[in-house]
Amino acid sequence: MAVLYYDNYNRTHLLILSFSILFFSFSSRLVNSGFHGERRRERVHGYHYDELNNFSEDQEGGLTLLSGAGYDPEAHPSFLSSINGDRDEEFTEAEPSVLSFKGIEDLRSAKPRSVIFNVDDFGAEGDGIHDDTQVFEEAWEKACSYKGPALFLVPERRTYLIGPIRFLGPCKSNLVIQISGTILASDNRSDYRKDPRHWIVIDSVDNLLVEGGGTIHGNGQIWWRNSCKINKSLPCKEAPTAVTFYKCKNLMVRNVKVQDAQQMQVSFEKCSEVTASDLTVTAPEKSPNTDGIHVTNTQNILITNTFIGTGDDCISIESGSHNVQIEELTCGPGHGISIGSLGDNNSKAFVSFVTVNGAKLSGTTNGVRIKTYQGGSGSASNIKFQNVDMENVKNPIIIDQNYCDQKKPCKKQKSAVQVKDVLYQNIQGNSASDVAIDFDCSENYPCLGVKLQNVRLQRADRVDEEAKAICNHVELTETGVVFPRCPDYHLKHDEL
């Protein structure tokens, strides 16, 4: 018995000792990562740091974060697991594979050292009055050319006034742009003489993460007042897009606010492997052409958990875009979600594999729309609008192959962009107009393979009147509960 008691005693102490080692090891990790213990925060060149983390001055003029600077992939789970979702068998052929963001995952993995290039260290005023454009350019050149993980920092609680600027790559390593403060656009239109279409351009930068919780403010009022859509007596001129991502691969943009752009707010052009998440994009309802997010010539892009309220399309998708995934979108005010316009000026356009899965639209001019000009060619195909709620939306479901955006009536033409394989599934809500479903398709190139499944749309303000559907030149299938229904008009494929 004595021997047995002695063994149990030692075993108990060994367990206590093991637990103590694990506890102090875990506590130490918490302290080193800045989540435990007393902190003393001080300001060093505009960057707030924790005394529990160690910093050292870098020869390149940046500030090296020795611990706590890495991006932990476990702390930021991938959005990719929910991209494909449940697929209808009819729409699975030749569907794109799951997106791959190897460069971003490398960026988010824990790095031992990350050099901080704070714009304040380069002499930025940050008062919203003095022009900090040149300082931003100098800081960017250093960050982009640094041979190691780098962080380009726009500090919090400060406003930086800048004119047109291009952050040009390629850069020598993975890079983080952390916008914690406010970047404010110059409203002097003469600053934009060289390039009237762009304010901030991020060009050819791969493996880039943009985040920080700050604001990009387009200061667009002067452009709106001088728009031909506001003042009919003025000629129509270009205005700058606030932020353009151009030819970027493996790009992640998250937790940033963009507001009051001069024209379009955020544009992804000729990019690939993109995630955009937790964005807030806003402009007044009457601000002209202020599309929230514009996607053109871009492949493999996921837009998720985003709020957009603006004066034009919440999201617009144009030619050359393939595998566009939109999830958990809140939209309104604005013109809804638009594919197009496509085929303008007799051009050839292609958009394929667009999925909207989970969206709430409120008070918008349109809901989910496909719009093409007469005279164009190409196709818009394999498109899904799923799980969409609409509240007081003027045109909830619309395909317009006779789109015309000019004062004079557009010339009638025979050719058209082919619209085919479009699914509307689990869409409900109410319409602010009599017509809740409007398929105005081409006589020569009818819409093919359009499917309505579990669609319920009522009138918003007139409970005594039913919403209507108009269906011209469309091959249509309806399953489940569909309301309103096309009035005894179903064009079968063999009749086209």
How long, in residues, is the chain?
496
User: Among residues 483, 486, 456, 482, which one has the least CA distance to residue 473?
Assistant: 486
Cα–Cα separations (whole angstroms), residue 118 to 48, 121, 135: 11, 5, 10
* C-alpha dihedral (7, 12, 17, 20), degrees to nearest 10: 170
Q: Compute the distance between CA of residue 335 and CA of residue 67 in angstroms, rounded to an integer.
A: 46
**Hey, what amino acid is at 248?**
C
What long-range pairs does 168-171 form, CB within 8 A, spacing at least 24?
A: 168/144, 168/203, 168/204, 168/205, 169/144, 169/202, 169/203, 169/204, 169/205, 169/206, 169/248, 170/204, 170/205, 170/206, 171/143, 171/144, 171/145, 171/205, 171/206, 171/208
For residue 448, give Cα distances in angstroms to 292, 396, 470: 30, 20, 16
HEC letters along 10-32: HHHHHHHHHHHHHHHHHHHHHHH
Q: Do 305 and 328 contact (CB within 8 A), yes or no?
A: yes
Pairing of strands 150-154, 127-131: unpaired
Q: What residues act catalytically?
A: 312, 335
Cβ atoms of residues 282 and 294 within 8 Å? no
